[in-house]
Amino acid sequence: MNSKIKILPEKLCNQIAAGEVVERPASVVKELVENSLDAGADEVTVEIDRGGKKRIVVSDNGCGMGHDDVFLCFERHATSKIRSEEDLFHLAYHGFRGEALPSIAAVSRLSVLSRSADDDCGLRLDLVGGQIKHTDEVGVPCGTTFEVKDLFFNLPARRKFLRKDDTEFGHISEIITRLALAHPSVHFKLIHNGRVILDLYRQNSSLDRIAMVLGRTIVGELLPVDSNQGQMVLSGFVARPTINRSATSAIYSFVNGRFVKDRVLHHAIMDGYRQLLMKGRYPVCVLFLQLDSEMVDVNVHPTKHEVRFHDQRTVHQFVSQSVRNVLRDSTREKATIAQMPFPSPSLDHGIANQKSRSIDCLVADRPFTEKPVAPLAHVAEHAPAYRVDTVTQQHREVVDDDLAKLPSDDKGYFESLTVIGQYQRSYILCEDGTDLVLIDQHAAHERIGFERFKKQYSSGCIAAQELLFPDIIELNIREDTELRDQQQQMERLGFELEHFGGLSWAIKTIPTFLAESDVKSMVCDVLEELTSVGDSALTQDAFDAVLITMACHGMIRANQRLDVIEMKSLLKQLDGVDFNQHCPHGRPVLQRLQRNDIEKMFRRI
Ligand code: ADP
Ligand code: MG
């Protein structure tokens, strides 16, 4: 009997494989440009017609190919980049599977023209659907040019799925952006329908490249990251949380020089930003993680966008901590910088006296009298820290201690503001030099409560105070069961409860910070949150939700009148906590109107 199983013809195999590697024109660009980079090129030109559906040309000044190799490169599993299993774990190149070129050739009309330094002339090959149709010797400079025309011309079903030219080109420019960020010393040129879209000259630093690719305005908001732990190094930049996006598209993360969209890495970055961004908002960052190639497997996906870390937990913790530390430092730095306003004299007018006095005393407080820090854009890319670091360090140690012990002349940023008054019983209006600063009292208080709870909780339990007359609460059966489960945890959170018979419980203590709030509803809310968090309460991230719920309670609400002393005390407390520019839900605590803006409103300038 004839067997039903057949070995597929090679042409069909290549078409099937092409489905994995070549999804759209951008995938062709990615594979070809990666090959150019692997060939050591420092000049890569990408020319696109009609979103790449009509034509894609990638030319480079890399090492080129000898005549035999020009033929060989279209064979499946033909690669010059790995030889043995051993190499698979020490990948220094983008490619290694030897399947990109045969796959691309199988679904297009392809021409290649290449010359290596050893040959006198180059070789040109024309293929249609993977079949060689024509060869020719041509005099060309060393390097390689691939031309890919009519992608999927022989697979109408796939061609139908291609999108509008602009959409396809958008994907291509994104691919070039990623590669350009990782290779600042390579000159990239991108041309669409004859128009030069990107012309990225060789740059010395990744910051210069970022400025070229992502725009100069963002650069001023970037904070340098430079940390290491064991074999791992994390470098690059994270943007201040005030700059954010509605999608993850501005998270550029690289592992050993390769762009990846990895779940673990993304989660770690988001964790670094936790409570600094509103729900549904994502950060802007360019981060390079370098680690021993034995600690990561890049061979888990044909397009290699995903990786597998051997020790996910360590990588996650390292990345999220590194990002967090930079962001924490930056809120301190910002306060310190803002403390030293150097306004332009022409705008100084009425408040000149007061201003110069405050500068004088600030300068006298400091161990040196340098000018304030330059904006980040002008700081060299390898300057990981600001020049005022030593000052900040001392400042931080003092602040982290009990606030009340602060000497009164060592004012933090918020405390140094001049309070003008309260607006709509919700916002504190202040003067910061020539700026008008508005502070959301509710957001501020929430952040203070949250940071305090967090600190107290992590060092044992939250400070509680006894109620003079225990409050009795009546629970339903579900709540009663939950409370029995969570009684110990509740105690650590500052709520001591005692069974009072039936479904009644006596509330004996509450967190000191929440003394003013409605005790009963607070207990129910916290209990509910604790239960919904469940076992994941063991992770800090999930547990934060419980602390946020607590911080929300009994906080100074909007619509609460505050007198000047209360406002000043709130500002002073704000200086004592980390991340004081945002509430734990990520809403900003502070907004600033510059004198310039105000004068413009009144058409004075
Ligand atoms: P891989 O990159 O996984 O090795 P490819 O199919 O992409 O597989 O390429 C096959 C081989 O062709 C490469 O290993 C390399 O030797 C050669 N090659 C491809 N593109 C270039 C180029 N631009 N310059 C020099 N050699 C190239
Ligand atoms: Mg390749």
- 425-449 residue pLDDT tens: 899 999 998 999 999 998 898 888 8
Checking if the pLDDT of 172 tops 80, the result is yes
For residue 368, the tally of other CB atoms under 10 A from its CB is 9
Which protein residue has the closest C-alpha to ligand 1 atom 19? Answer: 35
Extract the runs of DSSP E, i.e. beta strands, from 448-568: 464-474, 496-499, 504-511
Q: Is the CB of 274 under 6 A from ligand 1?
A: no
| 170 CA from centroid of ligand 1 (Å) | 25
What amino acid occupies position 155?
L
Q: Is the CB of 140 under 6 A from ligand 1?
A: no
Q: What DSSP element (H or E) covers 488?
A: helix 477-492
Query: CB-side exposure of 228: number of CA atoms within 13 Å?
Result: 8
Identify the CA nearest to 412 among candidates 588, 278, 574: 574
Q: Tell me what pLDDT residue 291 has.
A: 93
Q: How confident is the model at residue 303 (pLDDT cuts 50, 70, 90)?
A: low
Classify burial at 141, counting beta carbons within 10 Å of its beta carbon; exposed 0-12, middle 13-18, buried 19 or more.
Answer: exposed
Q: Tell me what pLDDT residue 339 has.
A: 34
Q: Tell me what pLDDT residue 417 has.
A: 92
- What is the arithmetic mean of pLDDT over 297-307? 73
Q: Is the CB of 36 under 6 A from ligand 1?
A: yes
Which protein residue has the closest C-alpha to ligand 1 atom 12? Answer: 73
Q: Is the CB of 60 under 6 A from ligand 1?
A: yes
The answer to whether 373 touches 388, Cβ cutoff 8 Å, is: yes
Question: Using CA atoms, how far apart are residues 426 and 428, in angstroms rounded to an integer?
Answer: 7
| 88 CA from centroid of ligand 2 (Å) | 14
Of all atoms in ligand 1, which is nearest to the CA of residue 98? 8
Q: Tell me what pLDDT residue 333 has.
A: 53
- What is the arithmetic mean of pLDDT over 574-589? 86
- Tell me which of 413 and 378 has the higher pLDDT: 413
Which protein residue has the closest C-alpha to ligand 1 atom 7? Answer: 100
Checking if the pLDDT of 515 tops 80, the result is no
Q: Is the CB of 79 under 6 A from ligand 1?
A: yes
Ligand lying closest to the C-alpha of residue 117: 1
- What is the arithmetic mean of pLDDT over 511-520? 78
- Tell me which of 305 and 348 has the higher pLDDT: 305
Identify the CA nearest to 358 among candidates 343, 346, 347: 343
What amino acid occupies position 399?
V
Q: How confident is the model at residue 536 (pLDDT cuts 50, 70, 90)?
A: low
CA 290 to chain centre: 16
Q: 42 phi and psi, to 5 degrees?
A: -120, 15
Q: Tell me what pLDDT residue 293 has.
A: 85
The answer to whether 429 touches 421, Cβ cutoff 8 Å, is: yes
| 69 CA from centroid of ligand 1 (Å) | 9
Of 129-133, 243-247, 271-275, give the lowest mean pLDDT range: 243-247
Cβ neighbours for 175, distance < 8 A, ≥ 6 positions apart:
26, 29, 30, 33
User: Residue 25 to residues 35, 289, 312, 535: CA-CA distances in angstroms?
Assistant: 16, 28, 33, 46
Ligand lying closest to the C-alpha of residue 142: 1
The answer to whether 79 touches 223, Cβ cutoff 8 Å, is: no
Which protein residue has the closest C-alpha to ligand 1 atom 2? Answer: 95
Q: Is the CB of 27 under 6 A from ligand 1?
A: no
Q: 441 phi and psi, to 5 degrees?
A: -65, -35
Of the spans 62-71, 153-162, 215-224, 397-406, which averages the highest pLDDT? 62-71
The answer to whether 300 touches 294, Cβ cutoff 8 Å, is: no
Checking if the pLDDT of 343 tops 90, the result is no
Question: What is the overall mean pLDDT for the chain?
Answer: 81
Of 385-389, 431-435, 499-503, give the lowest mean pLDDT range: 385-389
For residue 68, the tally of other CB atoms under 10 A from its CB is 9
Checking if the pLDDT of 133 tops 50, the result is yes
Q: Tell me what pLDDT residue 532 has.
A: 75
Q: How confident is the model at residue 342 (pLDDT cuts 50, 70, 90)?
A: very low
Checking if the pLDDT of 390 tops 70, the result is no
Q: Tell me what pLDDT residue 337 has.
A: 35
Q: Is the CB of 65 under 6 A from ligand 1?
A: yes
Q: How confident is the model at residue 346 (pLDDT cuts 50, 70, 90)?
A: very low
Checking if the pLDDT of 17 tops 80, the result is no
Q: Tell me what pLDDT residue 393 has.
A: 32
Extract the runs of DSSP E, i.e. beta strands, from 263-307: 282-283, 285-290, 296-297
User: Quick one: how many helices (H) and strands (E) in the chain?
Assistant: 19, 24
Classify burial at 74, counting beta carbons within 10 Å of its beta carbon; exposed 0-12, middle 13-18, buried 19 or more.
Answer: buried
Write out the two tokens for 427. 């916002």
- What is the arithmetic mean of pLDDT over 468-476? 85
Q: Tell me what pLDDT residue 422 has.
A: 93
For residue 60, the tally of other CB atoms under 10 A from its CB is 27
The answer to whether 545 touches 533, Cβ cutoff 8 Å, is: yes
Q: Tell me what pLDDT residue 458 has.
A: 84
List the beta bridge partners of residue 439: 428, 590
For residue 389, the tally of other CB atoms under 10 A from its CB is 14
Of all atoms in ligand 1, which is nearest to the CA of residue 146? 23
Q: Tell me what pLDDT residue 227 has.
A: 96
Q: Tell me what pLDDT residue 88 has.
A: 63
The answer to whether 221 touches 243, Cβ cutoff 8 Å, is: yes
Question: Using CA atoms, how far apart are residues 48 and 168, in angstroms rounded to an integer?
Answer: 10
| 81 CA from centroid of ligand 1 (Å) | 8
What amino acid occupies position 116?
S
Write out the two tokens for 50. 């009609």
Of all atoms in ligand 1, which is nearest to the CA of residue 34? 2
| 258 CA from centroid of ligand 2 (Å) | 13
Question: Using CA atoms, how far apart are residues 332 and 344, in angstroms rounded to an integer?
Answer: 24
Checking if the pLDDT of 505 tops 80, the result is yes
- What is the arithmetic mean of pLDDT over 193-200? 92
Burial state string for 489-506 with b = 16 or more CB within 10 A and e = fewer than 16: bbbebbbbbeeeeeeebb
Top mutation candidate among 56, 79, 108 for ligand 1, by most atoms within 8 Å of CB: 79
Checking if the pLDDT of 385 tops 50, the result is no
- What is the arithmetic mean of pLDDT over 390-413? 41
Ligand lying closest to the C-alpha of residue 17: 1
Ligand lying closest to the C-alpha of residue 63: 1
Q: Is the CB of 589 under 6 A from ligand 1?
A: no
Q: How confident is the model at residue 38 (pLDDT cuts 50, 70, 90)?
A: very high
Identify the CA nearest to 54 among candidates 197, 166, 165: 165
Of all atoms in ligand 1, which is nearest to the CA of residue 143? 24
Question: How much is the pTM?
Answer: 0.66
Top mutation candidate among 28, 35, 299 for ligand 1, by most atoms within 8 Å of CB: 35
Checking if the pLDDT of 365 tops 70, the result is no
Top mutation candidate among 94, 101, 107 for ligand 1, by most atoms within 8 Å of CB: 101
Cβ neighbours for 592, distance < 8 A, ≥ 6 positions apart:
432, 435, 436, 437, 438
